[in-house]
Amino acid sequence: MATIKIPPVLRASVGGEKQVDASGEDVGAVLRDLASNHPATQEQLFSPDGQLNRYVNVYLNDEDVRVLDGLDTAVRDGDTLVILPAMAGG
Amino acid sequence: MSTSGAELLRLVKSQIQEVDPAEVNELIGEGVTIVDVRGSEEFATGHLPGAKSIPRGHLEARIDSAAPDRTAELILYCQSGNRSAYAARTLQEDLGYERVRSMTGGITLWKDRGYEVEIPRALSAEQRERYSRHLLIPEIGAEGQQKLLDAKVLLLGAGGLGSPTALYLAAAGVGTLGIVDDDDVDLSNLQRQVIHSTQRVGIPKVDSAEESIHALNPDVNVVKYKTRVDASNIVEIIEGYDVVVDGVDNFPTRYLLNDASVRLRIPVVSASILGFDGQLSVFKPYDGPCYRCLFREPPPAELAPSCGANGVLGVLPGTMGLLQATEVVKLILGIGEPAIGRLLLYDALAATLTEVKVHRDPDCPICSRDPDEIADEELGVFPDYEAFCAAAG
């Protein structure tokens, strides 16, 4: 089981939670588990071809998954995934 | 029988190592730490090139920051070689410095030999008082304060983030503050934009900001730009500044600023805020990632609520703006570890500051290329922004 930190703009899609648990062998599986439990996140995270949307950054612990193995990056019990969209408020 | 001063001096000199000015002259610029132990007023009249000033009375308290490594070579000097002899013994006997030497004859003999003397530009008496708490910090001192006074910092936006940043940079003595903002002060700004005031509602933010800055510190030269930055004016506006502070409230300007600052190689201290959350990073072109490396594309409207009117905790821009001001000061002084290649995430409700790593994108459309190859028409290119802003309301 991994913990996913939900950014403010996605919290409405997960019932207002700041973090939720999800399971899966790799980053893609964990995020798909999130999307199956909270369908409103599906389109926000994934493009129609099943890839991560380019405007969504995902970090495994503190490392960008793009410099690891992307959605295939292995996830271990107790890992934290951070979903991070850009913010522009000033 | 008590010892005379002259006898004590002879005794001390017999217990320490001394070094001739000729050898010190060879070591200038070689990375050896040289400390001037005279008073700060003597230091201000001229010192060895690159020497650090630690008056002997403050030696024990401040030597650690100037010379943290007790095994590294360290040279002390004073006016004639006596005070530095006592200081060398203290460092050697009491603090365990292994390779400390005192320069024979002090700066008097140094000058007699015709070696180079660096004369720091003097701060006025008023400046010495105003910035006295900076002058006491070895990492800043008169030299660092002069760097701040010589620095030119541009604030993009005199709003939530820009307000605290401008005030504290002005207080710190940053010599030139450029401020870009097209808006007038509105009553709804005052919940967080502390550089403005109730009496100044309705006047341009750049004028209001200038008034507060000059009230705080008349040393600061304020350059006002009452305009919106766009692709046609951004290069002209930011060129010549040492650091740009990004506190703008929309994505197109953030991408535009990124592209122009990469082309001009100007570091940007960037922060953004929403609700109870803040993000901060330093984008130093070609030393670290740029904004496009971090966020390849802006999010669509429903995930980018900044276009419309969204709430923010009033104190949050204070927190994030002052983190930005701190990064600016560090960049100017060249001290510490700037937040380059790191994105700091502040959660006000949880009271946590965490960070994630940011890497240069080898395929970045902007910073993977030579700056001269970035054309005017590429600056701030941004897909379908008007459409998604309209959708966001």
pLDDT of residue B384: 54
Residue in B272, B317, B357 closest to A63 by CB: B357
Q: Do A89 and B273 touch (CB under 8 A)?
A: yes
Q: What is the C-alpha separation between B103 and B81, in angstroms, rounded?
A: 6
A48 touches chain B (CB under 8 A): no
Q: Give the bridge partners for B103, in sequence order.
A: B19
Residue contact B277–A10, C-beta within 8 A: no
pTM of the model: 0.79
Which residues of chain B does A18 touch, with a Cβ-Cβ cutoff of 8 Å? 350
Residues in chain A, total? 90
Identity of the residue in B160, B161, B295 whose CB atom sits nearest the CB atom of A86: B295
pLDDT band at A88 (very low <50, low <70, confident <90, very high): confident
- Indicate the burial class of B79 (C-beta count within 10 angstroms; 0-12, 13-18, 19 or more): middle
CA B358 and chain centroid, separation? 21
- CB of B344 within 8 Å of a chain A CB? The answer is no
High-pLDDT (> 90) share of chain A, %: 73
- On chain A, the residues whose CB falls within 8 A of the CB of B274 are 8-9, 87, 89
Residue A90 lies in a domain: no
- Residue A30: CATH number of its domain: 3.10.20.30
The amino acid that residue B21 corresponds to is P
Burial class, B18, CB count within 10 angstroms (exposed 0-12 / middle 13-18 / buried 19+): middle
* Gap from B296 CA to chain A (nearest CA, Å): 6
Rounded Cα–Cα distance for residues B27 and B14 (Å) = 24
Residue numbers of B between 227 and 256 with CB closer than 8 Å to A: 246-251, 254
In what helix (H) or strand (E) does residue B279 lie, and over which residues does it extend? strand B277-283
Q: What DSSP element (H or E) covers A77?
A: none
Stated as kind and residue range, the H or E segment containing B153 is: strand B152-156
Q: How far is A64 from chain B (nearest CA, A)?
A: 7
Residue A67 lies in a domain: yes
Alpha helices in B182-238 (DSSP H): 205-216, 234-238
Query: Which residues does chain B have within 8 Å of residue A84's beta carbon, measured at their own beta carbons?
Result: 343, 345, 356
Query: Mean pLDDT over residues A32-53, rounded?
Result: 92
- Domain map of chain B by residue range? 5-120, 151-392
| pLDDT score for B29 | 86
> Does residue A19 form part of some domain?
yes
The answer to whether A82 faces chain B, any CB pair under 8 Å, is: yes
Side-chain-side CA neighbours of residue B134 (13 Å): 24
Q: What is the pLDDT along chain B (393 residues), one digit of tens a residue?
A: 688 999 999 999 999 999 999 999 999 988 899 999 999 889 988 999 999 999 999 999 999 988 999 999 999 999 999 999 999 999 999 999 999 999 999 999 999 999 999 987 889 999 999 999 999 998 999 889 999 999 999 999 999 999 999 999 999 999 999 999 999 999 999 999 999 999 999 999 999 999 999 999 999 999 999 999 999 999 999 999 999 999 888 888 999 999 999 999 999 999 999 889 999 999 999 999 999 999 988 887 777 765 445 788 999 999 999 999 999 999 999 999 999 999 999 999 999 999 999 999 999 999 999 888 888 888 888 665 555 455 444
How many CB atoms are located within 10 Å of the residue B94 CB?
A: 10
Q: Is B183 on the interface with A (CB under 8 A)?
A: no
- Predicted local confidence at residue B320, as pLDDT: 97
Tens-digit pLDDT profile for residues B236-276:
999 999 999 998 888 889 999 999 999 999 999 999 998 89
Domain spanning B151-392 has what CATH number?
A: 3.40.50.720
ipTM, two decimals, is 0.93
- Using the beta-carbon criterion (under 8 Å), do A87 and B273 form an inter-chain contact? yes
CB contact (8 A) between residue B358 and residue A89: no
Chain A residue nearest residue B314, CA to CA: A90
Catalytic residue among B307, B364, B367, B389: B307
Per CATH, the number for B5-120 is 3.40.250.10
Q: What digits encode the pLDDT tens for the residues B27-53? A: 998 889 999 999 988 998 899 999 999
Mark whether B293 is an active-site residue: no
- Closest chain A C-alpha to B216 CA, distance in angstroms: 23
Give how many domains chain A has, as a whole number. Answer: 1
A66 interaction partners in chain B (CB closer than 8 Å): 359
A:B CB pairs within 8 Å: 94
pLDDT at site B251: 87
Q: Please state, in angstroms and rounded to a whole number, the distance separating the CA atoms of residues B35 and B51.
A: 5
- Residue range A52-60: mean pLDDT, rounded: 92
Instruction: Tell whether A49 is within 8 A of chain B (Cβ).
Output: no
Structure tokens at A75: 């996830």
> Which residues from B are below 8 Å from A82, CB to CB?
345, 356
B334: CB partners within 8 A, 6+ apart: none
**What's the domain range around A55?**
2-85
Comparing alpha-carbon positions, the chain B residue that sits nearest to A67 is: B359
Alpha-carbon gap: B203 to the closest alpha carbon of chain A (Å): 20
The nearest CA of chain A is from the CA of B261 a distance in Å of 17
Alpha-carbon distance B23 to nearest alpha carbon in chain A (angstroms): 49
Helix (H/G/I), strand (E/B), else coil: B250: coil
Q: What is the pLDDT of residue B393?
A: 40
Q: Is A57 on the interface with B (CB under 8 A)?
A: yes
